[in-house]
Structure 1
């Protein structure tokens, strides 16, 4: 390779924009140009070396462009990998947050259900106790009458001369 090829493979390869802009302004065609001169022995050698130089230059341009495209793809894939990593990390964080919130909600619901069940059971017991209070009220009325009768009898005995 000549000096221009080595320069193309040197430090300027790391920037794909430089690679494309460093290519010759009028890159040689990769197609071989037909020769209009009649074949002669000296012309054959000069035309062959001219065509070889043109082919080498075209190959250099293609090689530089290929390297620039490869570096662009490498940069793109690195960027995509980073974005995917961030999205995955964010998704994992959101799932962990959702899991924590769901766990706390479940604990709260179980606690509320337990307290509600205790309240309902207390209401049932109170209702059962209140069923017996009517009978107790009747007994108290009967006892009150007996106490009133006894009180009247004691008052008569104490106030009688």
Structure 2
């Protein structure tokens, strides 16, 4: 019997997921003048007042306000996350465009430099080929210079005749 009384006391306090429903008494009232409840149990059940509708509505109002506050917080959080993600994505796309443009310009510059470098190398090779024949030209110039010097000294001697 004490176990039944303990179960009834537990059933009278609903958890957060249960609703408050009054249970029908399964045991018919006894015709005996003796009560099966101990005097302490009787005081416990009577000392706990049942919730009235006003208190239930107030509690529901508080829960509703808290739920709205939580929903607003989540809405703000998701809006912030969406904005941050948008900015990061936008920055990444901008950086990729910038990188692509810089790589394109660098490629153009490298191609231009390579073309100019090839021209310079080809000109140097041509000059080198032309310079190979200059040794014989230098010898011819030395001989020509000697002849010019000899001619100059001969002219000077003729002009100095008194």
Q: Report the alpha carbon displacement of residue 81 of structure 1 after superposing the two structures with TM.
A: 0.3
1:3-152 matches, cutoff 5 A: 30-31=21-22, 58-152=52-146
Unmatched tracts of structure 1, length 5 or more? 1-28, 39-53
- 1:103-124 Cα offsets, whole Å, 9 max, x none, are 2222222222221211111111
Q: Of the two, which has the highest radius of gyration?
A: 2
Q: Report the alpha carbon displacement of residue 157 of structure 1 after superposing the two structures with TM.
A: 3.0
Q: Report the alpha carbon displacement of residue 63 of structure 1 after superposing the two structures with TM.
A: 3.5
| Bigger shift: residues 91-100 or 78-87 | 91-100
Separation (CA, whole Å) in 2 of partners of 1:64 and 1:37: 38
More helix by share: 1
| Bigger shift: residues 110-119 or 63-72 | 63-72
Q: Report the alpha carbon displacement of residue 33 of structure 1 after superposing the two structures with TM.
A: 7.5
Unmatched tracts of structure 2, length 5 or more? 1-19, 32-48, 158-162
Separation (CA, whole Å) in 1 of partners of 2:21 and 2:146: 138
Identify which of structures 1 and 2 has the higher relative contact order when contacts are C-alpha pairs closer than 8 Å and 6+ apart.
Answer: 1
Q: Report the alpha carbon displacement of residue 59 of structure 1 after superposing the two structures with TM.
A: 4.2
Aligned pair count reads: 117
Separation (CA, whole Å) in 2 of partners of 1:79 and 1:158: 108
Give the TM-score, by structure 2 length: 0.58
